[in-house]
Structures are given as C-alpha cells and as structure tokens.
Amino acid sequence: MGFKLLERSEPAKWDGKELKSQTIFEGRSPLEPPLGHLPDTMDYSAPNLGEDELSEAVAQGEHFEGLHPKWMFYLARICNHCTLPACVAACPRQAVYKRDEDGIVLIDQERCRGYQECVKACPYKKAFYNLVSRTSEKCIGCYPRVEQGDVALCVEACIGKIRMHGFLSTQTAPREDNPLDYIIKIRKLALPLYPQFGTSPNVYYIPPIHVPNTFLKQMFGPGLEEAKALYHKVKDDKQLLGALLLFGASDRIIEKFKVEGEEAIGWDIDGKEVARVPFTEPHYVHDNYDEKYGVYRHNTT
C-alpha cells in the first residue's frame, strides 16, 4: 500500500493526541495535488505481495517458547471512504465525489478520463486504473446495499466475522447504543489506519496485541496502548464484548444494540431485531442413535 509514501515522509510525531509531522496535504501549493505516487506494475503483480512475511527470518530448527519474538499479522483493507479524501482533492475533472447522504466516495465513470490522479493521491492505494475501460475505479462502499440498510457484501461474506459496518454519529454526539460509536468513539478500542496521512479514514482497526508498540504506533497513532490494554481485559467488559459479538451477526446494518443478561441484541434502522448472540455458545450432546432419523451418529475425530 502506501509504503513508498511512508518511506518518503518522516516518521509520524505525536505530541499527546496531536500530530506534529506533516500530512499529505501540507507543504503543497493550493494548485498541487496531495503528495502521492503511481504504484509500479510489480506492486500489482500478486495479491498480498510481501504481506506473508515475518518481522524477521526464522533460522533452520528455531522454535519459540512463550511469547514470540517474531511476528506477523494480516491487515484486511478496503477504501476508507475518507472524510477528507485525497482522491477527491486530486481529481482535475471533479469526477470523484463524496456523497452527502452516507459519506461513500465514488468515481463518476462518465466524467473520469483516466488521468489517474486519484490513483496517485490515495495514500492507501485504493483507487485503481482499469486498462480496459480506461477509467479509474474503486470500492463503491456497496452503496445500493447501504441504501437498503444492508451491510456491504465483503462484511456479510466474511467467514471470520471480523467486520462490522454502519454509521458513526457526529463527533460530538456519539450514542452509547450505537455499536460503532461505542467501540470507536466512546471506548476507543478501534483506531484509524495511518492517521498521519490526514485523510481521516473511516475504516477502524482493533490493533493486534502481539506486535511491538513502536511499530503499531506508526500505523494506528496515539491511543494504541490504551486500545491494547482494553482488549486484554475485554472478556470482563460485558458491554464492549457484547458489541464485538455482533460483528458478522446480521446482513443488516445494526443501528442500536443492548446487552441483556447473557445475550447481545441488535436492531436495524427499522427497529427490527436482527441479531441475538449469546455470550456462551450453547453446547449440545446428542445420543449416538437418532431415533427420529433412524441413524447412528459417529464421532469422526
């Protein structure tokens, strides 16, 4: 992704919660697009290029005990539908725009002439040039689904249930009963990726807890230590755990949630209950012989 950009810029300097180094918009004249670059052909040659690598090489026969001194993690990425999108700022045709109603950032395929300024400017490298249509394209935030109150397809399809999709309230009025407000704005468990770029990305990550803070702080900015500490204690934090249990629990956007007894419950925009997840998965033990179907069950392990 934006490694070349990171190499070109100084490490981000945080003074408390404030960024003291420059974003991709600063130090540029008003007529210049944001700081950026076009990826090389090689960068597109394989999915997850360079992402399967460990932090250090493992020697032949080496084994780990207890905490691993070497580490790696995957980082699922899509367009961040940024609040201050670099792709919008860079397009000389005003073909890239952010929708007022839901904040989704789109490229108007009629207006786009394929100048690739958005490809260059996006620090997350989430706009791509299509050689066939000769226009730039990007994630459309599944806007036809969002308009119906449904989550994006990548969120619904994720078998790991690592994603939650919905709307954040305004900065000043986060709601305790909105699961995303609660996780991101109130408890601050999830953090934006590379906030130092200055685009105010709208995808938030719960940072991996096994990776050194010096590395993660450059990725997720201030609030990292607090988020990791919170995650370490999440099993005793019923409200937060309840919000996390609702990840991947419905194909509807969960507008409101509540923890009741041993269950987390979610409602959609129409006030309809769309998810009810128990804190402990029920455990069933079946008889070896099933009278209803007249069959024997075998334990294949």
The residues facing 266 across adjacent strands are 257, 275
Cβ distance to ligand SF4 smaller for residue 142 or 253: 142
Candidate residues 5, 91, 126, 196; the one interacting with ligand SF4 per rule CB under 6 A:
126
Query: Which phi and psi (to 5°) does residue 43 adopt?
Result: -65, -25
Candidate residues 120, 138, 228, 252; the one interacting with ligand SF4 per rule CB under 6 A:
138
Binding-site size for ligand SF4 (CB under 6 A) equals 22
Candidate residues 54, 58, 154, 209; the one interacting with ligand SF4 per rule CB under 6 A:
154
Is residue 86 within 8 A of residue 200, CB to CB? The reply is no
Q: At what angle do helices 213-220 and 224-232 cross, to 10 degrees?
A: 110
Mask for 225-264, x = binds ligand SF4 (CB under 6 A): ----------------------------------------
Distance from C-alpha of 34 to C-alpha of 96, rounded to nearest angstrom: 14
Q: Where does this chain touch ligand SF4 (CB under 6 A) — which range of 148-156, 176-184, 247-255, 260-268? A: 148-156
188: left (phi over 0), alpha (psi -120 to 50) or beta: left
Cβ distance to ligand SF4 smaller for residue 26 or 273: 26
Distance from C-alpha of 257 to C-alpha of 271, rounded to nearest angstrom: 10
Candidate residues 19, 72, 78, 158; the one interacting with ligand SF4 per rule CB under 6 A:
78
Candidate residues 5, 87, 112, 249; the one interacting with ligand SF4 per rule CB under 6 A:
87
Q: Is 255 exposed, middle or buried (0-12, 13-18, 19+ CB in 10 A)?
A: buried
Candidate residues 6, 19, 38, 140; the one interacting with ligand SF4 per rule CB under 6 A:
140
- Residues 186-225 close enough to bind ligand SF4 by CB under 6 A: 199
Residues 6+ apart with CB under 8 A from 152: 141, 142, 145, 146, 165
SS3 97: strand
Cβ distance to ligand SF4 smaller for residue 105 or 189: 105
Distance from C-alpha of 1 to C-alpha of 134, rounded to nearest angstrom: 22
Residues that bind ligand SF4 (CB under 6 A): 78-82, 85-87, 105, 122, 124, 126-127, 138-142, 152-154, 199
